[in-house]
Structure 1
Amino acid sequence: MAVLKVKFTKTRRGRLAQVLWILNWISVVTGLIIFSLGLFLKIEIKKRSELMISGDIHSVPNMLIAVGTIACIINFFGGKICYDCSDANKFSRWKLFMLPYIICTFFFTFCVFSGAIMCYTMRHELESALYRGLKDALKNYKDTDIPGRCFLKSTIDMLQIEFQCCGNNGFRDWFEIQWVSSRYLDMGSKEIIDRFKSNVDGKFLLDGVPFSCCNPNSPRPCIQYQITNNSAHYNYDYLMEEMNIWLRGCREALLEYYDQLMQSIGLTVLLVWLFELSVLTGVRYLQTAMENVLILGDPESESDGWLLQNSCMETAKHNFSIIKNLGKANQISTVAEKCDPNVDVHVAEYGPDNVPPSSIPTVS
């Protein structure tokens, strides 16, 4: 029994073909949208590639770019097919091509759905890449005279100003690294030498942060040095008073930014998937309805269209039996060849009763 069978008149078939032609051209536009979103996401990730340890974070934008490109190609040809399918005579040219086209489009819509899901599952890889990338970037903040690292200071400062954040997990990350270059330290000062000696790793550590961590909305002038020393500043208690530096870590800020971006892109791609699925359903109805018209032989007659000719269970059993029979056929041929390796190749191919005369040995 056919699944979701619908009866179509000639007029309804023509209208369905016209609507699908329009929808396929709209799908070309949605394909361009997916391509643009993937390209935008790739650029946004590449803009901050210095702050990330590359892993699988580029798989999502690459997937969206590929899906968007394929969508434009498939729906362009789909529009041409649906335009011709309004006429039974023109449909006969596409009859053999229709089923492979529908199967390919079905797998393509699955790829669109996969792209939408990947947008929501990217957070873990992104968080790991940001954690390791920001950690290394903070360590190299002071290396402004080393090739390949000279722009990191500017990058991190602009990041902390733009996203109103400080450090990797928070401002205390700056307490654990030497972020002031030795070339700007007076090595003849006893205080600086004592600070170097007080650290096991021989680093110049202090309870201070770069200027980019300062909150410009604070009424008090920025306290970026001796942050945890209450006696160093008048009327100051760093535990009780609201500090005038950003408390949120940059990893959290960037994750929040990318999360919002990925959720928006994922929702858009999910809506495109639903749209593509509706177009695919319409194309399937048009294909089956037009094939039944050719069987009836009367272009003016009514015809039935359906999604599946048999029930889902019957279709699955039929396909499984085809696969099973193919496996048995291959197994029988393999066993026949292995049973007697001395069997003449002509006998194995044609059978004992149908051996070509040319292969029978003659007695002289």
Structure 2
Amino acid sequence: MALSQRCLLYLKVQLFIFNLIFWLGGCGALGVGVWLSLSQGRFSALSLSFPSLGIAGLFLAAGAVVMAVGFVGCLGASTEHRCLLLTFFVILAAIVLLELGGFVVFYACRDKFDRYAQDDLKSGLRRYGTPGDPALTQAWDTVQTEFRCCGVQNFTDWFEIQNATALPESCCLEHGTPCHSPTATWWKEPCYEKVKRWVGENIWAMGIFAACIGVVQVLGLISSMLMYCQVLQAEKHYE
């Protein structure tokens, strides 16, 4: 009996610590989402199909869910409540399955997502400079200036889509130089590939964060089920 109690105490402390880390990870994801919303909000108008969604929204939603699940896990561990432990296990298992499913779908359809994203961005070029879309115009100017790029796939996108004879000033190497003049020079790299390359170069931090959360999730699943079984066994012993 003493051994069983020690095992239960060990699992209780372990599960509480795992869930505390899990909860703190949710706080971190929420903070990243807020930071992205504030710092990258000027890019949100680039997409016409999903103007309110993006990486920032995903981080905000994921952070809120992780914090809620972590709280349930901490509460279940501290009170040794079977219902809370089982609820935590089921919710966490569902989250892990959704994460795996989402990763598989994204990886399998990454080429389709690529084409769709480029087509969606090209649709936005048609509304550049129109009175009804100042946010989209500003977003494109910001991207082309900061990333030193022009167009989605090529600077010629502006000529093909807008039937224009000049490029936006944000495409020019030197602002103030008309991009339609014979001596004008502009950024030659496409914005989509340059931004995609920038994301790829900085995605390692996100990958490390996701891997750490994944390890904590798996350990949380194992610990919660072991603790649930120990609590159930202890209750049967006292009956």
TM-score of the superposed pair, with normalisation by structure 1: 0.52
Look up the match of 2:8: 13
- Amino acid across the alignment from 1:212: S
Show the 5 A alignment for 1:287-302: 287-297=228-238
Quick check: 1:276 aligned with 2:234?
A: no
2:151 counterpart (167, 176, 180):
167
Distance change (3 Å), C-alpha of 1:69 and 1:151: closer
Q: Give CA deviations for 1:209-237 in whole Å, capped at 9, x if unaligned.
A: 34322335xxxxx794455xxxxx6xxxx
Distance (Å, rounded) in 1 between the aligned partners of 2:212 and 2:223: 17
Quick check: 1:245 aligned with 2:183?
A: no
1:70 counterpart (65, 74, 79):
65
Greater displacement, 108-117 / 26-35: 108-117
Quick check: 1:105 aligned with 2:100?
A: no
- Amino acid across the alignment from 2:169: F
1:131 counterpart (100, 103, 118):
118
CA apart distance, 1:281:
0.6
SS at match of 1:48: helix
Distance (Å, rounded) in 2 between the aligned partners of 1:75 and 1:168: 41
Distance (Å, rounded) in 2 between the aligned partners of 1:215 and 1:82: 60
Aligned length: 236
Look up the match of 2:142: 158
Look up the match of 2:27: 32
Look up the match of 2:171: 213
Distance change (3 Å), C-alpha of 1:75 and 1:249: same
SS at match of 1:170: coil
SS at match of 2:30: helix
CA apart distance, 1:279:
1.6
CA apart distance, 1:177:
5.5
The answer (yes or no) to whether the contact 1:35–1:64 under 8 Å persists in 2 is yes
CA apart distance, 1:29:
0.9
Distance (Å, rounded) in 2 between the aligned partners of 1:276 and 1:65: 19
The answer (yes or no) to whether the contact 1:117–1:266 under 8 Å persists in 2 is no
Q: Give CA deviations for 1:27-84 in whole Å, capped at 9, x if unaligned.
A: 1111222334455566677533432231599387655544432322232232222223
CA apart distance, 1:275:
0.7
Distance change (3 Å), C-alpha of 1:289 and 1:53: same
CA RMSD of aligned residues (A): 4.0
TM-score of the superposed pair, with normalisation by structure 2: 0.73
Distance change (3 Å), C-alpha of 1:47 and 1:151: closer
CA apart distance, 1:135:
2.6
Distance change (3 Å), C-alpha of 1:122 and 1:272: farther
CA apart distance, 1:282:
1.2
Distance (Å, rounded) in 1 between the aligned partners of 2:201 and 2:107: 10
- Amino acid across the alignment from 1:271: C
Unaligned runs of 5+ in 1: 1-7, 86-93, 179-202, 217-221, 228-232, 234-242, 299-364
Distance (Å, rounded) in 1 between the aligned partners of 2:37 and 2:107: 16
If you compute each CA radius of gyration, which structure gives the higher value, 1 or 2?
A: 1
Distance (Å, rounded) in 2 between the aligned partners of 1:15 and 1:78: 15
Distance (Å, rounded) in 1 between the aligned partners of 2:44 and 2:33: 16
Distance (Å, rounded) in 2 between the aligned partners of 1:64 and 1:115: 15
Q: Percent identity?
A: 20
- Amino acid across the alignment from 1:54: S
The answer (yes or no) to whether the contact 1:102–1:284 under 8 Å persists in 2 is yes
Q: Give CA deviations for 1:317-337 in whole Å, capped at 9, x if unaligned.
A: xxxxxxxxxxxxxxxxxxxxx
Distance change (3 Å), C-alpha of 1:152 and 1:27: closer
Unaligned runs of 5+ in 2: none
Distance (Å, rounded) in 2 between the aligned partners of 1:29 and 1:57: 26
